[in-house]
Amino acid sequence: MIEIKNLKKTFSTRQGPLEILKGINFEIKKGEIIAITGFSGSGKSTLLGLLAGLDRPQSGEILYDGKNLNQLSEPEAQKFRAQNLSLIFQNHYLIPHLTALENVVLPLQILGLPFESQQAENLLTQVGLGDRLNHYPSELSGGESQRVAIARGLIIKPLVLLADEPTGSLDTETGNKVMKLYFDLVRQNKLTSVIVTHNQELASLCDRELKLSQGMIAE
Amino acid sequence: MIWSLLYSLKRLWRVKSRLLIMGFFLALGFSGWLTGESAQTSIKAYLAQNAKQILSADITVSVRRELKPDELKTLETLTQNQGQLAKGYEFFAMITAGEDTRLALVRVIDDSYPYYGELKLDSPFVAKDLRNGNLWAYEEFKSLIDLKLNQKIKLGDSEFSVSAFVSEDKTQTFRLASLAPRIFIHLSDLEKTNLIKFGSTFTTTYFLKANPETDVEDLAANLKKALPDPGVDISNYISLPDEESSPTQRLADFLGLTSLVTLLFSALSLFYLIQVWSLEQQKERALLSTFGVTRFQLFFVELVQSLFVALTSTLISVGVVLLLKPIIETGLKNWMNQSFDLAVGWQEILLILGSQFILLIALSNPFSKSSQNSTSQLLKNNFVTQQSGVLRFAPLFLLLWPYAILASQSLRNGTYFFGGLLFISLSLVFFGRISINFLSKLKWSSWKSSLAVKSLRRQSTASWAFLFTVGLSSSLLNLIPQIQSSVESLLKFDEVQSRPSLFMFDIQSEQWPDLQAYLNEKNIQPTATSPLVRARILKVNGENFERKETAGQFQSREEEESSRSRNRGVNITYRSYLQNGEKIVSGDEFPLTYNSQQKYAFVSIEKRYAGRIGVDIGDIITYDIQGIEIEAEVKNLREVKWSRFEPNFFVLMQDGLLNDAPQTILSSLPYLDSNVKNEAIKTLANRFPNISVIDVERLMESIVQNLEKIGGALRLMTYLTLLTGMMTIIFLLSAESQRRAFEIHLIKILGADSSSILTNRLTEVLILGSISVLVGVSTSFAIAYLVVDQVFQVSFTPNFLPAIGIILTVLAVCWAITSFSSRLQLKKQSYAFLKKEE
């Protein structure tokens, strides 16, 4: 479903060009949950940014069902991302002046898709926040906020759910609870997911783990 | 302590650019304030330094009559061996030069005048001797009636020759309405003019040049005790007479008040800035407190930081004022015909340094511990829960009140000013809330508008800061052109036609039949003819009505006005009808004809005058009218439209009681064609030389010209306010885009394209901008209406052009800045931005 071919990414620094990804190749099957692990600075987040179409590589291909993301124009890439990909961050990044429910329906509104708020309410109920629909992010705990972010990620029924250190800001117990919920929902909705993490325990729960080291995949 | 100091210094270095921005914004507001302050200080210093020149003596004793023999004896006894005493007079009279006739303020002087100060004559070669029918005239007469040197002019029953023109008179201060330019004649020539006789309006002044060893204040106090009639005005240069200094001081006070607005803008920017950066600062505080740093140590760090910002800002402010110095000095010279040295003293510098420091500490409130943001929450979250609501701004506004009173030295004026700002602010709160609530109830089909309205409603601190700044700026910007256009409308033809053309005073009763005959012959119907009876108040409710004494300077303008009203005689009229411009505002109407059965005669008192002399309805006032005591009951209070330029009086008594009292007559002539008017002036001056005639239209022109000069001073402050307001708006908008960067990037990642995000931001800013500017401009119309109606007493003439200009400019600035700063954000890599935020 997702094919990554010879992906390279270089950043310019004051000391000269810095090659973060040195020609990466891998495939992800539909419905598969992949963990990308590695030390800090190994290029995990850079890779996720490229997969999400938020950044462009120097060379290589990212194919979603055969469609090369890098050959799409900026507006086409933006449209593709909006319709097919969802991102979940380490810090949940909810809009502080919107309620949990409003945060969840926002992606649908942006895409101009018809929606019933019942849809979002159901999702929030599924993540255990059925009674916190009208609460603002400041009134939610870190774990609860992350669950809202998961619900927001799921609302557009994406092809792929990309998560960047989703438990990074949570304590172990909360992190485990949130991820259990995450796996349940991803599997239940037969989604494909890529999780960037350095948490080995979390990586071991995924279908497969890809280790990034010195800009290369060391599977 | 050492740790705190070292940490403070390190922190200063780390956030130096941020602190410099704060310093810049603080300086922006304080530059305006410092400009106002230093102009005020310079004007006051000028008045203090030149008090002797303005008074032209050490002590003056003035009275609107001749001193009685016993009073004169007392004066001479008390001033014997204390210095030189000279006598002078001042009165209005018509002068005729060739074909032209004009009103002049005649100052009658002797050889020793002025003891201090200088009358600069235009040429060193002219004959400076005033005796023997010579006269000096202000240079204005050259342009007014084409007066030339050595030209013969008729004054009263005598003829004079212009021996010099006065190019500078240091005894004259700035006045809003100058009825006529001055001429000077010698005391020995007065009698032959035959202008001072019974019923004439004149002031007799005795000038004392005190010996060096004389205690001037002590002597003045003794004179006041020995001459108890409140109508006898005794002034000394140490406490400069208020009538002389008041208009100039008020202008200075007004400059001070206007500059407070720039201060408010600056405080708003700063407050907003602190809000924007508060997350990081609060996080840092939270982190340090987990290491065991005490709240006192944290406070110390804050103190050092605030001191640095205040010092930076003070330096910038002083620099700005020094740059503006030549412009302001030229402006002041232009407005007041006097040179001022605008000095920024240590006192002002320390004052602004202290004020800035206190303001910073008050705004950042380092002791506060937000109940909604616990240490753990602060360390975990990437946003601070802002205490919502408009009440956060309350301390800022409340701080402004005492400052306004201090700046205007008047509880009333300071409170009016503060009240005006409060009115605008409350209107903004009220209409802002209503509009945003209304908008949020609407069903928005587009997420861009829906999100914008939600954001407006829920991010209240940022919204209110923006609303206040834009609203107040717009309101103040529109206020001055509105007042100006209404005052200028006084000169419009239909307004001119509704007012009398000529105002005549000092008409002797026996002249009236002849005057009427002449007017009938010319088919001119005099209007508002009123008798004038001079009186003084002896008692109020049986208590002696005494001179109001104060130790040294007056504490407030109200005290000053009250004192001035008490320490002067009063002119009473009697009529059996109310004029068009008069309205009873409290108390009962009374029969306007006196009935001998009445215990007291009834009087109607002008409302503001009643307040100043401290009388109310039901009070019994005992008047001394040419030695006869008359008791009168205050039956009602009246409002008088002084701007109608009709003979109006503070005290109106019933007809029938004073008819036989010694009196003169005041009258006015309705609108006349300019030829008829000029001929009437000439004939009146020839046939009735003692009657003074004021050309109302010319007076209005002089008032408008002087207002134009004051307008110049106000405009300078307005430009500074505009600059601060605009800078504040620009800063708020770009800071808001920066603050909302996270949201912009998140929405982008959620799938929104750049143009939609831009539309969202613009919708939000333009909604808020429109509410602010519309409410701001509307309130300014309301305030301008009140000022024009109450202060200038003319009908309000709105001028929509500047209002539309302000609305469009403010909205264009909102649009341009938001577009620019949002585009800058949108160019950044959203994912990288958010990762960096983590």
Q: pLDDT tier at B16 (50, 70, 90 boundaries)?
A: confident
Same domain, B35 and B66: no
Helix residue ranges per DSSP H, B442-505: 447-458, 460-488, 493-498
In chain B, what residues touch A137 (CB-CB under 8 Å)? 383
Residue B783 in tokens: 């305030």
- Note every long-range contact of B519-526, with CB atoms under 8 Å and residues 24 or more positions apart, other chains counting: B519/B669, B522/B676, B522/B680, B524/B669, B524/B670, B524/B672, B524/B676, B524/B680, B525/B670, B526/B667, B526/B668, B526/B669
pLDDT at B245: 46
- Helix (H), strand (E) at residue B171: none
The yes-or-no verdict on residue B385 having pLDDT over 50 is no
pLDDT at B128: 59
* Range name among B40-44, B126-130, B303-307, B384-388 with the lowest pLDDT average: B384-388
What mean pLDDT do residues B52-58 have? Answer: 79
pLDDT at B722: 66
The rounded distance, in Å, linking the Cα atoms of B474 and A213 is 60
**Is B287 in CB contact (< 8 Å) with chain A?**
no
Same domain, B188 and B325: no
Same domain, B47 and B129: no
What mean pLDDT do residues B396-405 have? Answer: 75
Superfamily grouping for domain A28-56+72-217: P-loop containing nucleotide triphosphate hydrolases (3.40.50.300)
State how far residue B378 is from chain A, nearest Cα, in angstroms. Answer: 11
**Is A12 in CB contact (< 8 Å) with chain B?**
no
What are B319-344's pLDDT values in tens digits?
887 887 787 777 767 666 666 677 77
State how far residue A174 is from chain B, nearest Cα, in angstroms. Answer: 14
The yes-or-no verdict on residue B694 having pLDDT over 60 is yes
Contact B382 A91 (CB under 8 A): yes
Cα distances from B160 to residues B130, B138, B247, B745, in angstroms, run 10, 15, 33, 86
What are B194-228's pLDDT values in tens digits?
888 766 778 899 989 888 888 888 898 889 888 87
The yes-or-no verdict on residue B776 having pLDDT over 90 is yes
> Which residue, B124, B125, B151, is CA-closest to B137?
B151
Question: Is residue B178 within 8 Å of residue B702, measured between CB atoms?
Answer: yes
Range of the domain at B96: 58-236
Is the residue at B724 inside a domain?
A: no
**Is B131 in CB contact (< 8 Å) with chain A?**
no
Contact A98 B383 (CB under 8 A): no
The yes-or-no verdict on residue B311 having pLDDT over 60 is yes
Is the residue at B285 inside a domain?
A: yes
In chain B, what residues touch A164 (CB-CB under 8 Å)? 835
Single residue among B361, B385, B409 that ends a domain in this structure:
B385
The rounded distance, in Å, linking the Cα atoms of B518 and B684 is 9
Is the residue at B740 inside a domain?
A: no
A residues 32-51 closer than 8 Å to B (CB): 45, 49
Same domain, B67 and B19: no
Question: Is residue B606 within 8 Å of residue B583, measured between CB atoms?
Answer: no
Amino acid identity at B349: I
Is the residue at B800 inside a domain?
A: no
For residue B425, with 0-12 CB atoms within 10 Å meaning exposed, 13-18 middle and 19 or more buried, which class applies?
Answer: buried
Is the residue at B723 inside a domain?
A: no
Residue A26 in tokens: 């891998």
The yes-or-no verdict on residue B826 having pLDDT over 70 is yes
Contact A107 B837 (CB under 8 A): no
Is the residue at B72 inside a domain?
A: yes
* Range name among A125-139, B378-392, B778-792 with the lowest pLDDT average: B378-392
The strand ranges marked E within B65-117 are: 83-97, 100-109
What average pLDDT does chain A have? Answer: 86
Contact A97 B385 (CB under 8 A): no
Contact B743 A102 (CB under 8 A): no
Q: pLDDT tier at A143 (50, 70, 90 boundaries)?
A: confident
In degrees and rounded to multiples of 5, residue B664 shows phi and psi of -120, 175
Contact A49 B832 (CB under 8 A): yes
Instruction: Kindly identify which residue of chain B lies nearest to residue A111, measuring between CA atoms.
Output: B751
Instruction: Kindly identify which residue of chain B lies nearest to residue A170, measuring between CA atoms.
Output: B380
Same domain, B218 and B258: no
Rounded to 10 degrees, the C-alpha dihedral B189/B194/B200/B201 comes to -20
Q: pLDDT tier at B247 (50, 70, 90 boundaries)?
A: low
Residue A51 in tokens: 């997969």
Tell me B652's DSSP state: E
For residue B728, with 0-12 CB atoms within 10 Å meaning exposed, 13-18 middle and 19 or more buried, which class applies?
Answer: buried
Contact A52 B372 (CB under 8 A): no
Q: Where are the domains of chain A?
A: 28-56+72-217
The rounded distance, in Å, linking the Cα atoms of B558 and B366 is 40
**Is A6 in CB contact (< 8 Å) with chain B?**
no
- Helix (H), strand (E) at residue B172: none
Single residue among B669, B699, B730 that ends a domain in this structure:
B669
pLDDT at B548: 55
In degrees and rounded to multiples of 5, residue A213 shows phi and psi of -145, 125
Contact B831 A52 (CB under 8 A): yes
pLDDT at B551: 45
Same domain, B63 and B48: no
Same domain, B220 and B364: no
Non-local CB neighbours of B776 within 8 Å, separated by 6+ positions? B424, B428, B470, B471, B472, B473, B474, B475, B478
The yes-or-no verdict on residue A120 having pLDDT over 80 is yes
Same domain, B195 and B319: no
Same domain, B25 and B119: no
Percent residues over pLDDT 90 in chain B: 9
The rounded distance, in Å, linking the Cα atoms of B249 and B405 is 14
pLDDT at B811: 92
State how far residue A50 is from chain B, nearest Cα, in angstroms. Answer: 10
pLDDT at B771: 93
pLDDT at B766: 92
The rounded distance, in Å, linking the Cα atoms of B389 and B508 is 68
Size of interface A-B (CB pairs under 8 A): 75
Residue B694, SS3?
A: strand
The rounded distance, in Å, linking the Cα atoms of B248 and B271 is 35
The rounded distance, in Å, linking the Cα atoms of B770 and A197 is 47
Q: pLDDT tier at B125 (50, 70, 90 boundaries)?
A: low
Neighbour count for residue B249 (Cβ, 10 Å): 21
Single residue among B635, B669, B703 that ends a domain in this structure:
B669
The yes-or-no verdict on residue B379 having pLDDT over 80 is no
In chain B, what residues touch A53 (CB-CB under 8 Å)? none
* Range name among A85-99, B175-189, B659-673 with the lowest pLDDT average: B175-189
**Is B379 in CB contact (< 8 Å) with chain A?**
no
DSSP chain A: -EEEEEEEEEEEETTEEEEEEEEEEEEE-TT-EEEEEE-TTSSHHHHHHHHTTSS--SEEEEEETTEEGGGS-HHHHHHHHHHHEEEE-SS----TTS-HHHHHHHHHHHHT----HHHHHHHHHHTT-TT-TT--GGGS-HHHHHHHHHHHHHTT--SEEEEESTTTTS-HHHHHHHHHHHHHHHHHTT-EEEEE---HHHHHHSSEEEEEETTEE--
What average pLDDT does chain B have? Answer: 78
Non-local CB neighbours of B26 within 8 Å, separated by 6+ positions? B266, B270, B309, B310, B313, B356, B359, B360
Neighbour count for residue A133 (Cβ, 10 Å): 17
In degrees and rounded to multiples of 5, residue B505 shows phi and psi of -135, 170
The total of structural domains in chain B comes to 3
In chain A, what residues touch B830 (CB-CB under 8 Å)? 54
What are B630-670's pLDDT values in tens digits?
899 999 998 887 666 677 788 999 888 888 888 888 888 88
Is the residue at B469 inside a domain?
A: no
Neighbour count for residue B550 (Cβ, 10 Å): 12
**Is B577 in CB contact (< 8 Å) with chain A?**
no
pLDDT at B815: 93
Same domain, B35 and B65: no
Residue B148, SS3?
A: coil
The rounded distance, in Å, linking the Cα atoms of B818 and B256 is 33
Contact B753 A97 (CB under 8 A): no
Residue B79 in tokens: 């001033």
In chain A, what residues touch B436 (CB-CB under 8 Å)? none
* Sign of the alpha-carbon torsion through A59, A65, A66, A70: negative
Task: Provide the ipTM.
Answer: 0.83
What residue has token string 């160019």? B827
What are A4-21's pLDDT values in tens digits?
999 998 888 777 888 888
The rounded distance, in Å, linking the Cα atoms of B727 and A162 is 43
Angle (CA) B347-B350-B352 rounded to 5° is 105
Cα distances from B411 to residues B35, B397, B422, B555, in angstroms, run 22, 16, 16, 10
Chosen from B749, B757, B826, B828 to mutate, greatest number of chain A CBs within 10 A:
B749
Same domain, B11 and B106: no
Contact B751 A83 (CB under 8 A): yes
**Is A82 in CB contact (< 8 Å) with chain B?**
yes
In chain A, what residues touch B383 (CB-CB under 8 Å)? 96, 137-138
What mean pLDDT do residues B163-174 have? Answer: 74
Q: pLDDT tier at B384 (50, 70, 90 boundaries)?
A: very low
Contact B454 A102 (CB under 8 A): yes
Non-local CB neighbours of B698 within 8 Å, separated by 6+ positions? none
pLDDT at B670: 86
Question: Is residue B91 within 8 Å of residue B156, measured between CB atoms?
Answer: no
pLDDT at B124: 58
In chain A, what residues touch B372 (CB-CB under 8 Å)? 138
Same domain, B155 and B111: yes
